[in-house]
Structure 1
Amino acid sequence: MSGVTTAEKTITQNGHQVKLYVMKPEKVSGKTGVLLFIHGGVWIVGNYENHKRLLRDLVVGSGQIGVFVEYTPLPTAKFPTQLEESYAALQWVAAHAGEFGADGKHIAVAGNSVGGNMTAALSLMAKDRNGPKISYQVLLIPATDASVDTQSYLDYGTDRFLARSFMKYGWDLYAPDAKTRDNPYVSPLRATLDQLKGLPPALVITAENDPLRDEGEAYAHKLEQAGVDVAAVRYNGTIHDFVLLNALRHVPSTDAALRQIADGIREHIAK
């Protein structure tokens, strides 16, 4: 891909073996920050190959080095494996970023769909465990609750890019019991305000015609109530994962969203 170079690396951290892809912008001077990216795909169908163009756009746009987490998909493993692997990646990046020319003290985390879910959960986990500092969290059209019964699910859960039935299938595999679904690391929207206090600044992007719209916006509102610095933006006239889909790459809403994300990452990593 133009404008970047990519290397594959498998790490071992906290007993987890995780494959990472390190993507560097070709035009960079000095040490950059790190963009840790957690992919979507309902924990089933996502991977580096179908997310690399999105990561490339964010790396080039923000000028930061991207690290893509290739976590274990469903049904091979369920919660908390995928999240613990992502946390292991965060810890490794914080300790080893200098090896690939980055500063491990300046990390942004971003994810789309269920990757947005795990980005929110990872931010909570890092705070709870006094783990590596996250400078910025970017939740792109995120899943924030294991229920699939919001109005936007009813309005847009069929005949769209993301089907309600597929999300329900993914949730049933990832977190099959009610007790697990109440865990804020599974359903961040169910976290208390006290649990949300002190989280890193957040950007929450939703799409008008998306089953996940309502829960994403509800989570942004709850972050605001908890005193978190949050920006919530709904892109009208578009669908779930619009920033990911190559067919929508050059429509104005995608261009605008990618610029907004890259600008936010660059601004917060520099602090």
Structure 2
Amino acid sequence: MNTGANPHGLALEPEAQAFTEASEVIPYLYTVPPEAKRKMLDELQARPTPRPDADDQWYLVDDRPDAHPAVPVRIVRPRNITGTLPVLLFIHGAGWVMGNAATHDRLVRELAHGARVAVAFPEYTLSPEARYPTALEQCWTVATWLTKEGPGLDLDPTRMGVAGDQMGGTIAAALTLLASRRGGVEFLHQTLLYPATAAGFDTESYQVFATGYALRAEGYRDFWNQYCPDEAARLEPTAAPLQAGLDELAALPPALVITAEADCLRDEGEAYASALRRAGVPALATRYSGVTNAFMMLDVMRGTLAADAAITQAAHAIGANLHS
């Protein structure tokens, strides 16, 4: 049963309008179990979609067996580019509950190709099987592994950036905080694609886009409940980066924050970019009109003008900062 997409009558791009209509069907994503959620995303991303050629290799990072499960890591390189490359640590989104190398394959290839970098993609343990901070610590272990082992893999850890989409953007931002606190890892740039940066659910965009725009407000609440059910822990900056003070933000790398017009997460993503600027960090926030959350990752929205422009913008920012 369809309950009404785009209730505010926004001028969405056709692919985004079609996706919102397809999403407004009961049962909603947030009402089904995690395995059903994963199956839905896997099937959605399984359709043939053009993507750049790339070479890849899998590794198993098991540097902290006492702290968390081993982490499979996929290294993706643009085809026909040899030699040592800068490396982008990409943390996938899809609510901390879904997502894997297959669901994000096209986006990862496009960023690798456009930025002329290698992309390291960790398949962290999903929630609710693992709760905060397990996924964050797994990704930190991968960052330290890249720093230590990168030169032997033709990866240059002195030219490393971090990126993430949606809830992966939350972890990516948190990794820059850990790098500042712990040392031993240096990120030259952070690229946050429609990130979650807070857990208050109280911004204007949360109110306006609570229903009718693919990912509902209740869906985001469900993701947080799966990942970090402890409300006190949600006040930690490494869980919700907008909680960080200006003194801590001042030590972070330059940022590109991309947001979508019709998305609950829009305002908090832009607020994080503003906080970085107030702290003296170069941070560009770009809002793409006519689309919803996940417009860069979802193959059904790859045909939008917004996705094409945003992927180009992100790849340029990554390449410019890691090749300089």
TM-score (norm 2): 0.81
Amino acid at match of 1:161: A
Specify the SS of the correspondent of 1:264: helix
Match of 2:143 among 90, 93, 99: 90
| Residue of structure 1 equivalent to 2:222 | 169
Deviation string, structure 1 residues 222-250 (Cα, Å, up to 9, x no partner): 00000111111111111101101112213
Q: Secondary structure at the match of 2:252?
A: coil
Alignment partner of 2:295 out of 223, 242, 258: 242
Segment drifting more, 154-163 vs 104-113: 154-163
Supply the AA of the counterpart residue of 1:194: D
Q: How do 1:154-193 and structure 2 match up within 5 A?
A: 154-193=207-246
Unaligned runs of 5+ in 1: none
Amino acid at match of 1:270: H
Please show how residues 220-239 of structure 1 align to structure 2 within 5 Å. Answer: 220-239=273-292
| Cα offsets for 1:153-190 (capped at 9, x unmatched) | 11112122212111101112222223201100011111
What is the match of residue 143 of structure 1?
Answer: 196
Candidates 204, 213, 237, aligned match of 2:257? 204
Give me the whole-angstrom Cα distance separating, in 2, the residues matched to 1:82 and 1:169.
17
Larger proportion of strand: 1
- Partner residue in 2 for 1:194: 247
CA distance in 1, matches of 2:98, 2:83: 36
Match of 2:96 in 1: 43
How do residues 61-76 of structure 1 correspond to structure 2 at under 5 angstroms? 61-76=114-129
In structure 1, the partner of 2:64 is 14
1:9, distance to aligned residue in structure 2 (A): 1.4
Return the alpha-carbon distance in structure 1 between the equivalents of residues 256 and 179 of structure 2.
18
Structure 2 equivalent of residue 216 of structure 1: 269
SS across alignment from 2:126: coil
Q: Is the 8 A contact 1:3 1:27 kept in 2?
A: no
Residue 145 of structure 1 contacts residue 188 of structure 1 at CA under 8 Å; is this kept in 2? yes
Report deviation, 1:100: 2.5
Question: Could you give the per-residue CA deviations for residues 92-138 of structure 1, whole angstroms, max 9, x where no partner exists?
Answer: 01111123222111111110000000111000011110131101100
Instruction: Write out the 4+ residue segments of structure 1 that deviate beyond 4 Å after TM superposition.
Output: none
Higher Rg of the two aligned structures: 2
Partner of 2:18: none
RMSD over aligned Cα atoms: 1.2
Contact 2:97–2:226 at 8 Å: present in 1 too?
Answer: no
Q: Secondary structure at the match of 1:206?
A: strand
Judge conservation of contact 1:116–1:143 (CA < 8 Å) in 2.
yes
Deviates most, 144-153 or 64-73? 144-153
Question: In the alignment, which residue of structure 2 is the partner of 1:104?
Answer: 157
For the 8 Å contact 2:132–2:228, the answer to whether it is kept is yes
Q: Which digits, 9 at most, give the CA deviation of each residue in 1:177-226, with x for residues without a partner?
A: 23201100011111110111110110000011111000000010000000
Aligned to 1:153: 206
What amino acid is the match of 1:86?
C
Alpha-carbon contact 1:42-1:113 (below 8 Å) kept: yes
Count of residue correspondences = 271
Q: Percent identity?
A: 39
2:169–2:194 Cα contact (<8 Å) kept:
yes
